[in-house]
């Protein structure tokens, strides 16, 4: 008789023991409270709640980072949205990239008075140089001044990241090499591609440092990044330029539509400066080009690139007063939808600003 009484109890104890052993053997497994024998009464829930702790913020990190994005000449739509000669724009996809990583954005309007421009630069924790076409004149000079200011801030002890994307990559290449003719023609317009990692490259500290191994493998074989440019630089020319090779490490290369190799990702050896010839923002936030990859893996590339940018910006301890930040945020402007054309950008922020003569 007693054996019948004890049998259910023994079976229950064995079940609990097996569950606990499995949990110990599989640290990566996730178990619900009911699977590890947690009681379901009010007293137990009250006790369990006291075991949860909200970690204190790291005082060495800035949890409200702001990214400055430099505007580009024009309206982003070949004059369809604005024919004002002073117009400049920022594609909304770059704003969304920063926001996806957990940052806010202040637009840096390239042709506004320099005093105002650099006051705004003092409000941000990092900068994005976007894609586009302008490689000379005022735009080139402003990019050069902002880039040099970013290096100065890093040299002074502030961690201040720079993300140079497509045209931004090309301009930084020209600036560091001090050669405006260093770029070469490539055929990579509206083209999705893989990324070929340089042999034995160390990805620690690069945009790829938090990519899971499986995604890194896919980047090497699948078309997960968007290219949209007709200028680039071959690995041989890049390494052959002393200024470039001493400033940057080449991380990845790509092959254009005619089999020509070009540098596609670089990371500064000394500064938090990342250059990518490809477009991390387009996978998740642009729909106007037919070859943009939108797979789950491609979206993960966008998200991880955004995470890297903003994680670097959080290391900046520049913390201006909130009033100045709030009055200059991109939220003070309205984006213009231009995706109905089925080409180009989906949304842009357009700025009209007469440059000061001072």
Give the neighbor-by-neighbor strand order of the sheet with 248-255.
104-108, 66-70, 127-129, 162-165, 273-276, 261-268, 248-255, 196-197
3-state helix, strand, coil in the chain (%, to 5): 40, 20, 40
Cα separation, 131 vs 74, in Å, equals 13
Q: Which entry of 166, 229, 254, 338 is annotated as an active-site residue?
A: 166
Angle between helices 296-313 and 92-100 (to 10 degrees): 70
Cα separation, 24 vs 125, in Å, equals 43
Q: Which entry of 72, 229, 279, 308 is annotated as an active-site residue?
A: 279
Cα separation, 103 vs 4, in Å, equals 64
Active site residue 166: yes
Three-state secondary structure call for residue 159: coil
Enumerate residues 6+ apart whose C-beta is below 8 A from 67. 98, 103, 104, 105, 106, 124, 125, 126, 127, 128, 309, 310, 313
Active site residue 54: no
Chain centre to alpha carbon of residue 136: 26
For the purposes of burial, counting CB atoms within 10 Å of the CB of 201, is it exposed (0-12), middle (13-18) or buried (19 or more)?
A: middle
Three-state secondary structure call for residue 307: helix
Cα separation, 107 vs 114, in Å, equals 14
Reading the block at residue 204, the tokens are 């620690």
Q: Where are the alpha helices (DSSP H) in 156-241?
A: 167-177, 213-221, 235-240
Q: Give the catalytic positions in this structure.
A: 166, 279
């Amino acid at each position: 008789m007693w054996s019948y009484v004890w049998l259910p109890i023994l079976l229950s104890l064995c079940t609990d023991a097996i569950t606990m052993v499995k949990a110990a053997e599989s640290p990566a497994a996730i178990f619900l409270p009911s699977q590890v024998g947690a009681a379901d009464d009010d007293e137990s829930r009250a006790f369990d709640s006291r075991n949860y702790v909200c970690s204190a913020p790291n005082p060495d990190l800035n949890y409200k980072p702001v990214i400055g994005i430099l505007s580009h000449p024009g309206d982003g739509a070949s004059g369809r949205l604005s024919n004002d000669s002073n117009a400049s724009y920022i594609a909304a996809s770059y704003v969304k990239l920063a926001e996806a990583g957990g940052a806010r954005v202040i637009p840096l309007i390239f042709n506004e008075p320099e005093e105002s421009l650099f006051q705004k630069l003092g409000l941000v924790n990092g900068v994005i140089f976007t894609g586009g076409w302008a490689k000379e004149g005022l735009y080139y000079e402003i990019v050069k001044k902002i880039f040099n200011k970013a290096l100065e801030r890093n040299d002074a002890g502030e961690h201040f990241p720079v993300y140079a994307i497509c045209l931004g990559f090309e301009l930084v290449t020209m600036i560091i090499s001090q050669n405006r003719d260093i770029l070469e023609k490539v055929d990579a317009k509206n083209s999705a591609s893989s990324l070929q990692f340089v042999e034995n490259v160390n990805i620690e500290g690069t945009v790829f440092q938090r990519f899971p191994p499986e995604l890194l493998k896919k980047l090497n074989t699948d078309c997960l990044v968007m290219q949209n440019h007709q200028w680039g630089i071959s690995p041989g020319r890049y390494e052959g330029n002393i200024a470039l090779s001493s400033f940057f490490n080449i991380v990845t290369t790509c092959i254009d539509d005619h089999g020509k190799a070009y540098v596609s990702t670089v990371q500064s050896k000394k500064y938090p400066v990342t250059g990518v010839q490809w477009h991390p923002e387009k996978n998740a936030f642009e729909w106007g080009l037919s070859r943009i990859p939108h797979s789950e893996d491609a979206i993960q590339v966008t998200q991880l690139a955004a995470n890297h940018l903003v994680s670097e910006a959080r290391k900046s301890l520049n913390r201006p007063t909130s009033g100045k930040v709030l009055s200059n945020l991109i939220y003070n402007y309205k984006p213009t939808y231009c995706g109905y054309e089925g080409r180009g950008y989906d949304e842009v922020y357009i700025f009209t600003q007469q440059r000061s003569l001072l």
